[in-house]
Each structure stands twice: as C-alpha cells, then as structure tokens.
Amino acid sequence: MKKVFLASDHAGWELKEALGAFLSERGFQVEDLGPVTYEKDDDYPDTIAPLARAVAEEQGSMGVAVGLSGEGEAMAANRHKGARAAVYYGGNPEIFKLSREHNDANILSLSAKFLTQEQAKEAVLAWLMTDFSGDERHLRRIKKLDD
C-alpha cells in the first residue's frame, strides 16, 4: 500500500491525528512528521518542509499537510523541488481529483477550519486512490515546474 507522510501545525494537529489513524486502519503506511504533540505556538514551515522533502525523495509516496486554511502549508511545500501540493478546503471534489490526474500532485494540503473530519477523510481517501493520467502534455508541464 502507499506510504503517506503527514504533517500539520497547531491548527491542523487534531485533524492530522484523526487522518493518521484513519489511513492506518485502511492499510496505508503512515509516517507522522509532526508535531507529535499539540504546540500552540508552532510554525508550519518547521513540519511541512520535512514533509515536502520526504515526499520528493521517496518515489511513489504521498503527503498530507493540515493547517487552518491549508494555504500556507501548500506554499511551504511547493518551495521544494519535486513537491507538488494542492489545496483543498471543501467544495467540488473534482478539484483535488484533477490535482492528481493532471498535475500529479503528491501532497494534499487541507483546511482544518473549513472541512469536517469526515469530509477530510473522504477527500484524502479519494485523492490517494486517484491516479495520474500520465499524458505527455501533463508530464511536459510538470517537468517545467521542476526545471
């Protein structure tokens, strides 16, 4: 089964913990990159940078980042070559599916403020089960991002 790295900040900590248990129960190999405990004054770059590096380095792995909006976490992740983070904070699920099919997103950044635990679980599971299309035009565009 796929390896999934998890990381959050204080605002996403509770949802990250729930997602870790949820994914483990479904057979995913989960590695939690922190924080290990709730830290109200932590800074998301401190946990998201290791997540982005781990996903970029470990071929075939995926990552889930969780924060208040998910926006800052995605920005932090996308600063690392090979990390392609998409944000999902609710609405049409086609958004996160296209991030996999067209952009080969390997990190899903979630909003703990705008998603319920159930919505987040459904989104993460569907996202993890969606494959990249592999179309040449999409591969060409992804290569330009990494160049």
The Cα 16–Cα 138 span in angstroms is 30
pLDDT tens-place string over residues 121-131: 999 999 999 99
pLDDT tens-place string over residues 68-90: 999 999 999 999 999 999 999 99
pTM for this entry = 0.96
**Domain chopping of the chain, boundaries:** 3-146
* Average model confidence (pLDDT) across the chain: 96
Contact between residue 133 and residue 31 where contact means Cβ atoms under 8 Å apart: no
**Among 102, 122, 136, 138, which one carries the catalytic annotation?**
102
Of 15, 8, 13, the residue nearest 115 (C-alpha): 15
pLDDT of residue 111: 98
pLDDT tens digits in sequence order for the chain, 147 residues long = 899 999 999 999 999 999 999 999 999 999 999 999 999 999 999 999 999 999 999 999 999 999 999 999 999 999 999 999 999 999 999 998 999 999 999 999 999 999 999 999 999 999 999 999 999 999 999 999 888
pLDDT of residue 146: 83
Residue 125: both structure tokens together? 């599971």
Contact between residue 48 and residue 7 where contact means Cβ atoms under 8 Å apart: yes
**Among 73, 94, 101, 136, which one carries the catalytic annotation?**
73
Number of H helices, E strands in the chain: 6, 5
Residue 96: both structure tokens together? 């996160």
What's the distance, Cα to Cα, between the start and end of the chain in Å? 30
Instruction: Give the burial class of 108: count Cβ atoms within 10 A of its Cβ; 0-12 exposed, 13-18 middle, 19 or more buried.
Output: buried
pLDDT of residue 1: 80
What dihedral do alpha carbons 45, 131, 20, 35 form, nearest 10°? Answer: -10
The Cα 59–Cα 66 span in angstroms is 22
Name the CATH code of domain 3-146 (choices 3.40.1400.10, 3.40.50.720, 1.10.1660.10, 1.10.3470.10): 3.40.1400.10
- Catalytic residue status for 73: yes
